[in-house]
Structure 1
Amino acid sequence: MTDNLRAAGMMTVALLLLTISDAIIKLISVSLPLSQIIVLRNGLIVLALLAVLARRRAAWQMSRRDWSLVLLRAVGEIGAAWFYLYALVRMPFANVVAVLQSTPLVVTLGAALFLGEAVGWRRLLAILAGFLGVLMIVRPGTDAFDVSAIYVLISVLFVALRDLCTRRLSAGVSSLTVTTISAAAVMAVFAVTSGADPWQPASPGLLTLVALTAGLVLLSYLAIIEAMRRGEISFVSPFRYTSLIWALIAGLMLFGEWPRLMTLAGAAVIVASGLFTLYREARAGRRRPVAAAVGPEMRP
């Protein structure tokens, strides 16, 4: 099994965990303000990561260039989380994730333009086919298109900024350090803005669910970091599409949403594009060394 295939498997599992976490956030957002949920969730994530990094002082030693990239990446993380999460609590779950599927195309284009990463024409066509599948689901210009989807599209641009900055980091930069700074930055921004939406008393059950989302996000982040270390952005990014499948299942089981025929057709196109890229990699049998930079391509 090649590094790209291993990375694809890690990305698929990570997106399943993130989908479960997002579904839980959407469920409990009717009882707790979103800012309160994110501050509590990210606070737990930061505490867990700081405990791991407590004896790794070298993990915080970075060059000025890397610190600049980490801080710029944090800006991307904040923007991605802000717009995505506020869309998540306002739109049907599967619709939010469907719009987010435009991310691989943006990231792959950015990798080709700014990082000089090669993208074969077959994989490029497969990615474009997947994007057409997303359009079949979103159906812009029709009544089926939710105006709140603009929030998700803005989030996609911030995701591209975040991931491309991550790709430029030096090999010696600790993935845990990058994740800690990102989680702390998001927590700080939501804490500052929480004044406009006062916190509510939380039952032990709700707090348990918040803690569960923190654990799921942390596990998924670590899996995605490893996936992006091993695989090429242009190959691994299309496997974000699998989150749409998980979202459709979650939408049906948790929110009673069942997609229309056009949505199912679009999902089929997306899955087919992912399977085709997997087939091309397996057939070529290429091996690729571990990437020279950390690259957590995380869902907001």
Structure 2
Amino acid sequence: MPHHVLPREDRTAMGLTAMAGAVVFFTMIDTSAKWLVLAGLPALQVVFVRYAVHFLLALAVFVPREGREALVSMAPGKQILRSAFLLGSTALNFNALYYLPITVTTTIMFAGPIVVTLLAIPLLGERVGMHRIIAVCVGFVGVLVVMQPWGAEFHPAMFLNLGALVCASLYFLMTRLLAGVESNATSQTWSSGLATVCIAPFALSSWVWPQAPADWVFFALIGIFGGTGHILATWAHRMADASILAPVVYIQIVLAAVSGIIFFSQWPTLWTLAGGLIIIAAGFYIWQRERILGKRAAADKAANIAPH
């Protein structure tokens, strides 16, 4: 039985607000990372700072309340794998951000639910019908529209972004496997702590201090953005069903566009916007199918346990 797994609450409005806040912080993680790597800081150092501060924040939030149990995992092997996928996704994405606009990296990452649907077939043994398979194919057409492998706008760094997408999808699958097994505290401390320990030798050996005042601001805040965003997202999923929260993530395309314009004077291209709409449409379709199938499964279960 998991320790300190807090009960679910039915507070949808609070959950949606928390998830929207988390998406804002996720956008600011990418904004900070792009700013810092463009300022000359090594990408691995930026990843280290993002996770080290996240780890300290997780310890400060959870250890006083839960004590040593916040650090004890019921499934350490799966936690290590989950943490490795999250670290891989962040490292690849931060490297890609050096070369690509935030709108491009964000839009490609929107294909996460599509990749999760595909990977869940062999890894979780889930059955996926023809409707969702078609939606997956449409979603990947959207990714191709964003990447434009046939045109001058294509950049090889997009392959880094695709790697980040696969790692992030595997991270979400591992999170699904650990749901109800691990507490939020354990998942937060392990994912941030393991990343910090693994990257420290590489980051510290080639350390570069920020120079400009703005660089220091992003340097100081990136870890806070990361820790707060993940804690808010997990809290949101305790307040409302994942099926209700899922579409909130798509507001990030607007936030990424605004961030790109304000901080980097980069406007989203029509290709990025068109591909993003295709990916979002496919994601919405998959989301809607999963809601319908989930309700149908719940109804069948209720019918089977009802007295006859």
TM-score interval, normalised by the smaller of the two chains = 0.7 to 0.9
Q: Distance in 1 between matches of 2:158 and 2:286?
A: 27
Instruction: Give the unaligned 5+ runs of structure 1.
Output: 290-300
Please, which of 191, 198, 203 is the counterpart of residue 200 of structure 2?
191
Matched position secondary structure for 1:198: coil
1:91 equivalent in structure 2: 100
Partner of 1:29: 37
Calculate percent identity across the aligned residue pairs.
26
Structure 1 pair 22–288 and aligned structure 2 pair: CA distance change class (3 A)? farther
Q: CA deviation at 1:89?
A: 1.7
Change (3 A) 1:32 1:273: same
Contact 1:136 1:263 in 2 (8 A): yes
- Pair 1:108–1:16, CA change in 2 (3 A): farther
Which residue is equivalent to 1:62? 73
Does the residue aligned with 1:29 lie in a helix, a strand or coil?
A: helix
Task: Report if aligned partners of 1:41, 1:211 keep a CA contact under 8 Å in 2.
Answer: no
C-alpha deviation, 1:25, in angstroms: 2.1
Q: How does 1:212-291 map to 2 (within 5 A)?
A: 212-227=221-236, 231=241, 240-273=249-282, 286=295
Does residue 158 of structure 1 match 2:179? no
**Partner AA of 1:36 in structure 2:** Q
Structure 1 Cα separation of the partners of residues 234 and 189 of structure 2: 13
**Structure-2 residue corresponding to 1:135:** 144
| Pairwise CA distance, 1:237 | 5.8
| Residues 35/179 of structure 1: CA separation in 2 closer, same or farther (3 Å cut) | same
| Pairing partner for 1:19 from 16, 27, 40 | 27
Question: Structure 2 CA distance, aligned partners of 1:74 and 1:275?
Answer: 27
Q: Offset of 1:4 from its aligned partner?
A: 9.2
How many residue pairs match? The answer is 285
Aligned residue among 155, 158, 163 for 1:149: 158
**1:82 lines up with 2:91 in the alignment:** yes
Q: Distance in 2 between matches of 1:200 and 1:276?
A: 46
Query: What's the CA shift for 1:54?
Result: 2.4
Moved more, 13-22 or 72-81: 13-22
- The 2-side partners of 1:122 and 1:74 are apart by 32
- Shift in CA distance, 194/214, structure 1 to aligned 2, threshold 3 Å: closer
**CA, structure 1 residues 182+284, in 2 after alignment: closer, same or farther (shift >3 Å)?**
closer
Whole-angstrom CA distance in 1 between matches of 2:60 and 2:272: 44
Give the drift of 1:200.
2.2
Using the TM superposition, name which of 132-141 and 145-154 deviates more. Answer: 132-141
Aligned to 2:189, the other structure's residue is in SS state helix
- Displacement of 1:192 after TM fit? 1.7
1:108-141: CA deviations, max 9, x gaps?
2223443345656656655543433232121123
Structure 2 distance, partners of 1:111, 1:223, is 25
TM-score, normalised to structure 1's length? 0.77
Aligned-partner Cα distance in 1 for 2:291–2:172: 25
Give yes or no for contact 2:110–2:280 (8 Å, CA) kept in 1: no
CA contact (8 A) 1:133 1:266 kept: yes
Kindly provide the amino acid, as one letter, of the partner of residue 53 in structure 1: F
Match of 1:250, SS state, is helix
What displacement does 1:96 show? 2.0
Bigger Rg over Cα: 2
Please give the alpha-carbon distance, in whole angstroms, between the structure 2 residues aligned to 1:48 and 1:81: 18
TM-score, normalization by structure 2 = 0.75
Q: Distance in 1 between matches of 2:224 and 2:254?
A: 22
5 Å matches for 1:90-129? Answer: 90-117=99-126, 125-126=134-135, 128-129=137-138
